[in-house]
Structure 1
């Protein structure tokens, strides 16, 4: 019982204590809320005050900005008004000028209309007169046709023909006069130089060969050259670089190759093997080696002999060897070394006639085709190849230029370049220098004569100097001295157009008057 009462008392105390605590906490919370509300009220008040201040400042700034913009606008407006007034005054003046121009144009238009009327009247009058003149002209033409017995077209053709003949006659006289004046001195000197150079040299020529033929003592030798299973011929071809052609040609073997030096080595080697009789691969290599040495020696001697004969000294030994290779090179059936010596001689002769350096001209002529010695090994024109070789071995710039310019792969720069060109043309173009078949030769002469005979007034034509010159016999009644000049030019132009020929063809027109009388007994 007492225990229960104690518990009840404790419970009451605890409840009282809890109520007190609750009330204390509630009071504290109420105080805190009041503080918060006061703080919120204070902050709101400060915010409202700050916002009011900012609004006032913004309004003041906006008013200030508005005043400033208004001031700027008034200033710009004032300037615009001034410019507009100025433009208005200018347009007003222009309008006044336009009005004045319009008045003037109106007056001019009236004058033009008045003149148009006057011109139209004159035009109508002129048209009537023109019609009258046309009628009168037709009547006159008919009368003239009756009197002359010619139609209008026939009369025109006759008049044009007469005018054409007169123009050709006058043109021929003028051409003859100019040509005569230009060649009065130059022609004599050129003929003298060329004639002197040509008469001082006459060279042999050889047929151009792309193959070599080795004759055999008998056809049984062909089998020995071929060897067992072809080992001998393969060894010989491998050692020399030349193809051996063994066909049905009796007692002969053909050596074919583009390199003339190798072809010569092969020819000598094969001849030695045939004469010795021992033909097998080891022997072939030994014989080819010795033949190569012999050919190299022959090449060197040929180059040295050519330079010695011409008196050209100081050429690099390696360039001498390259020069000697031309002994086995042919071009258009001419031996190139022989051609080079001939060109050197002609160049020296021409230089002597002109009072120039003879030795320098000979040096240029001797080396002008040096590129042909290696043109089968190096790509490019032989003139450019030769110029590079000469420069490589220390030749002077003048010699290099002469070599490069002798076929105009490079423009000539000195008189020596032209001398070498002329000498090269003379050597290649002289009669017999370059071989051609008899049929082609006769055909070319016939074509030359036929072209000249096709012209009106030509009695006969003769091709002479191996086709380098044609002499045209003209009728003296049809061809005058002046028209003979035109005839020679026309024939030359026709030959250039229709024929292909080396060098030049000289066209000589001969016109003569013969008076014949017989004596009486």
Structure 2
């Protein structure tokens, strides 16, 4: 038993020793493996740090090289600029030296010329003294011969020449005036005729009423509304009198202001087309149409200035030009009249060698005082001039606007051109509305007025009343009386009658000898 215990204990010790040995061997291997792994990691980390250090070194070196290169470039550029400055200074120095040499050479030449001129002046002075001596001797001889002093002879000669010059000058002036009168009338007629022939425009006649056509008479009741509320709202919103009567398929819009009539017409058209007609809708549509008309006015003004080639005009003046589309003067559309006047002004200015663009600008704006937003108590020419001055138009254009009815004095040549072209556009036959009865009566009055003079046989009003031909008896009136008769008739027409433009009176006196062969 003891032996077994000893053997067991010895086996246990042996097992423990073997186990310790094996454990120790395993720990040593584990330790060696850890140390080896640590060494490998340290080596890898070392290599990585060395690589990063090398990259950082390369980066720093690259930045350093870049800075060095930039500094070198700046130094090189500075050196180049310095060399250029030195070159420029050297060149200027050479130029200065060359100019100094040229100046010295010129100075030497001038000195030589001055010396030569001094010698020549001395010679001329000597010759002048000799000439004066000779002249005095000749004057003394002439005084002895004529028994007159030099001053007396000079006075007589001057007086004689003065009288002769006056006579010749008066004759020459008279010839020039006669020729100028003949040429002036002929040239003026040519200019006016050319201007009229080159401008052909249609004439628009506007009345104080507008007819609005409808498809059927049922719409009239809807326009009137219950107890007339729709038509009252429409009249209150537009300021236009709306007449709904028994006229089939038509409604009459009456107002003196064409803009109001156009707003009422367009608003009525939209309401009828839409079908919804009531006071609130009427006010909404009228406001929209007013805005639409305002935009159309501006667009019309812009289009007019573009068509006429006029630029740089103030927007407010452009708007007033557009408003002229809805205004009329004696039945003549104001915008059409202004366009026609502008074209006539440009043509006439070109014929006379003046600035056609400036004349066209003044012609377009000459009636701008008829369409102001406010109505001050001023003539339209003065008001138009003030508006043009307010919106920075040039002084000659403003003067032409204000002077086209002689309210202010004409200061430039454009002013009479605008006045003449305004008269041409407004006074030509058919341009402005005139009742047929009044027109016929005016022609009859012209003829009867001329027939009231003794010796007048026949009278004819021709060219739409622009000319009156008077035929007189040769046995009753002489040639001198014919001229006086023409003047008397013109004076009487001017004093007693009202007419546009001017009336030409032509008195014809002829002798006829009549015999019959049987």
- Report the TM-score, using the length of structure 2 for normalisation: 0.62
Which residue of structure 2 lines up, in the alignment, with residue 332 of structure 1? 330
CA–CA distance in structure 2, aligned partners of residues 203 and 479 of structure 1: 44
* Contact 1:375–1:385, Cα closer than 8 Å, also in 2: no
User: Offset at 1:231?
Assistant: 2.2
User: Offset at 1:496?
Assistant: 1.6
**Residues 98-145 of structure 1: CA deviation (Å, up to 9, x unaligned):** xxxxxxxxxxxxxxxxxxxxxxxxxxxxxxxxxxxxxxxxxxxxxxxx
Q: Which structure is richer in relative contact order (CA contacts within 8 A, separation 6 or more)?
A: 1
Q: How does 1:126-137 map to 2 (within 5 A)?
A: none
* Contact 2:271–2:285, Cα closer than 8 Å, also in 1: yes
The number of residue pairs the alignment matches comes to 344
CA–CA distance in structure 2, aligned partners of residues 448 and 375 of structure 1: 41
CA 375–462 in structure 1, closer or farther in 2 if over 3 Å, else same: farther
Which residue of structure 2 lines up, in the alignment, with residue 484 of structure 1? 482
* Contact 1:457–1:479, Cα closer than 8 Å, also in 2: yes
Task: From 469, 491, 494, give the equivalent of 1:493.
Answer: 491
Which residue of structure 2 lines up, in the alignment, with residue 406 of structure 1? 404
CA 178–444 in structure 1, closer or farther in 2 if over 3 Å, else same: farther
CA–CA distance in structure 2, aligned partners of residues 366 and 492 of structure 1: 33
Task: From 438, 446, 449, give the equivalent of 2:444.
Answer: 446
Task: From 227, 235, 247, give the equivalent of 1:237.
Answer: 235
Which runs of 5 or more structure 1 residues have no equivalent in the other structure?
1-176
CA–CA distance in structure 1, aligned partners of residues 176 and 398 of structure 2: 38
Which runs of 5 or more structure 2 residues have no equivalent in the other structure?
1-174
Which residue of structure 2 lines up, in the alignment, with residue 266 of structure 1? 264
CA 378–242 in structure 1, closer or farther in 2 if over 3 Å, else same: farther
CA–CA distance in structure 2, aligned partners of residues 293 and 321 of structure 1: 13
* Contact 1:193–1:350, Cα closer than 8 Å, also in 2: yes
User: Offset at 1:480?
Assistant: 2.8
Q: How does 1:24-39 map to 2 (within 5 A)?
A: none
CA–CA distance in structure 1, aligned partners of residues 245 and 383 of structure 2: 38
CA 254–319 in structure 1, closer or farther in 2 if over 3 Å, else same: same
User: Offset at 1:367?
Assistant: 0.4
CA–CA distance in structure 1, aligned partners of residues 274 and 477 of structure 2: 74
CA–CA distance in structure 1, aligned partners of residues 177 and 464 of structure 2: 27
- Report the TM-score, using the length of structure 1 for normalisation: 0.62
User: Offset at 1:241?
Assistant: 3.0
User: Offset at 1:514?
Assistant: 4.0
CA–CA distance in structure 1, aligned partners of residues 201 and 332 of structure 2: 10
CA–CA distance in structure 1, aligned partners of residues 448 and 373 of structure 2: 40
Greater Rg over alpha carbons, structure: 1
* Contact 2:423–2:501, Cα closer than 8 Å, also in 1: yes
Matched, 1:341 2:353: no
Q: How does 1:429-440 map to 2 (within 5 A)?
A: 429-440=427-438
* Contact 2:204–2:336, Cα closer than 8 Å, also in 1: no
**Residues 73-117 of structure 1: CA deviation (Å, up to 9, x unaligned):** xxxxxxxxxxxxxxxxxxxxxxxxxxxxxxxxxxxxxxxxxxxxx
Q: How does 1:454-465 map to 2 (within 5 A)?
A: 454-465=452-463
CA 517–305 in structure 1, closer or farther in 2 if over 3 Å, else same: farther
User: Offset at 1:265?
Assistant: 1.1
User: Offset at 1:213?
Assistant: 2.4
CA 344–217 in structure 1, closer or farther in 2 if over 3 Å, else same: same
CA–CA distance in structure 1, aligned partners of residues 244 and 176 of structure 2: 65
CA–CA distance in structure 1, aligned partners of residues 282 and 371 of structure 2: 27
**Residues 5-46 of structure 1: CA deviation (Å, up to 9, x unaligned):** xxxxxxxxxxxxxxxxxxxxxxxxxxxxxxxxxxxxxxxxxx
Matched, 1:293 2:294: no
Q: Which shows bigger deviation, 481-490 or 254-263?
A: 254-263
Equivalent residue of 2:407, what SS?
coil
Which residue of structure 2 lines up, in the alignment, with residue 255 of structure 1? 253
Give the root-mean-square deviation of aligned CA atoms. 2.4
User: Offset at 1:300?
Assistant: 2.1
Equivalent residue of 2:464, what SS?
helix
Equivalent residue of 2:459, what SS?
strand
* Contact 1:259–1:376, Cα closer than 8 Å, also in 2: no
User: Offset at 1:182?
Assistant: 7.0
CA–CA distance in structure 2, aligned partners of residues 422 and 313 of structure 1: 24
Which residue of structure 2 lines up, in the alignment, with residue 512 of structure 1? 510
**Residues 296-354 of structure 1: CA deviation (Å, up to 9, x unaligned):** 23222321222222221111122111101100101101000000011111111221121
CA–CA distance in structure 2, aligned partners of residues 453 and 445 of structure 1: 13
User: Offset at 1:493?
Assistant: 1.1
Equivalent residue of 2:476, what SS?
coil
Which residue of structure 2 lines up, in the alignment, with residue 29 of structure 1? none
CA–CA distance in structure 2, aligned partners of residues 413 and 420 of structure 1: 13
CA–CA distance in structure 2, aligned partners of residues 258 and 430 of structure 1: 25
**Residues 257-300 of structure 1: CA deviation (Å, up to 9, x unaligned):** 34322221111111221222221123223322332233223222
User: Offset at 1:369?
Assistant: 0.5
* Contact 2:461–2:468, Cα closer than 8 Å, also in 1: yes
CA–CA distance in structure 2, aligned partners of residues 465 and 436 of structure 1: 15
Equivalent residue of 1:206, what SS?
coil
CA–CA distance in structure 2, aligned partners of residues 432 and 411 of structure 1: 31
User: Offset at 1:203?
Assistant: 2.4
Which residue of structure 2 lines up, in the alignment, with residue 220 of structure 1? 218
Which residue of structure 1 lines up, in the alignment, with residue 274 of structure 2? 276
Q: How does 1:385-404 map to 2 (within 5 A)?
A: 385-404=383-402
CA–CA distance in structure 1, aligned partners of residues 490 and 473 of structure 2: 19
Q: Which shows bigger deviation, 422-431 or 177-186?
A: 177-186
Which residue of structure 1 lines up, in the alignment, with residue 189 of structure 2? 191
Q: Which shows bigger deviation, 496-505 or 252-261?
A: 252-261
CA–CA distance in structure 1, aligned partners of residues 427 and 516 of structure 2: 46
CA–CA distance in structure 2, aligned partners of residues 454 and 509 of structure 1: 14
Equivalent residue of 1:410, what SS?
coil
Matched, 1:357 2:362: no
Matched, 1:200 2:194: no
User: Offset at 1:253?
Assistant: 2.5
CA–CA distance in structure 2, aligned partners of residues 302 and 518 of structure 1: 70
